[in-house]
Structure 1
């Protein structure tokens, strides 16, 4: 069983939000936490579109999420909200799939004006699944280098992110 699940809601081949999630996964591994990465790109789109919960891959993903001790979930901002394909995945989850789990929501975007997408779209969605939302992170695209193993290139942003990740890992260890 993975203690931590990271969920990427990006469909881009090289995604800033997905690179950040993978980097955070390595930092959590360094804290002796096991991490499994899930991407919406790994799910057969036809089954996702048709909400085929009998697909073995979808069943496995649902089980991983339900059995996790904590979840990091990330998405780029599209039209002022999280990606539609991420919402399609979340719609497959049982109503209490995130119950009592610490959740670290992460969004990336090209403008500071999209900051509120985290507060007004992603966090309320995760709350409907009874997750314990942490403050969350909004990262500007200009502070992410998708080509690097450590993709957050702005030092202040990196320290803020690590602080949130430390708090998240402490909560996971308490559950």
Structure 2
């Protein structure tokens, strides 16, 4: 009787609590889970284990996860990569897909959404009924704008004037947008 191997899954994120949560959820779904908090760990684990699935955070501590896609694909050519981000934008989504990512998802995601991003279907049909469709939660343009503003504001250390210049909008317009509550997905 032959033993089936568990599919391997590499989770790359600098948020250790997210690594734990995704790791636990994926282990419960039958995956062998590898976790990396930085690009160096990620590339070493990918080279050694050649995972079938990779969850990659867009914004790692001091660099963009976009730069890792090509290297990960070279180390494990058959892996599927899903880019996760809290700072979604159309430009980074297009870049991620062009570089070889299979899908681009906005955080927070649950295990079902993540696996759906890979078009992963478990062997057990009862589990596949629980996977949600991506089209049920499209990200609105207003939400993308809010996230871009927040990302740019963070990149400029909270400086509203510098953020407004970088976004090409008037400072007062930006201040009004910042006073509003975050837009729902």
Larger Rg: 2
Higher RCO structure (Cα 8 Å, ≥6 apart): 1
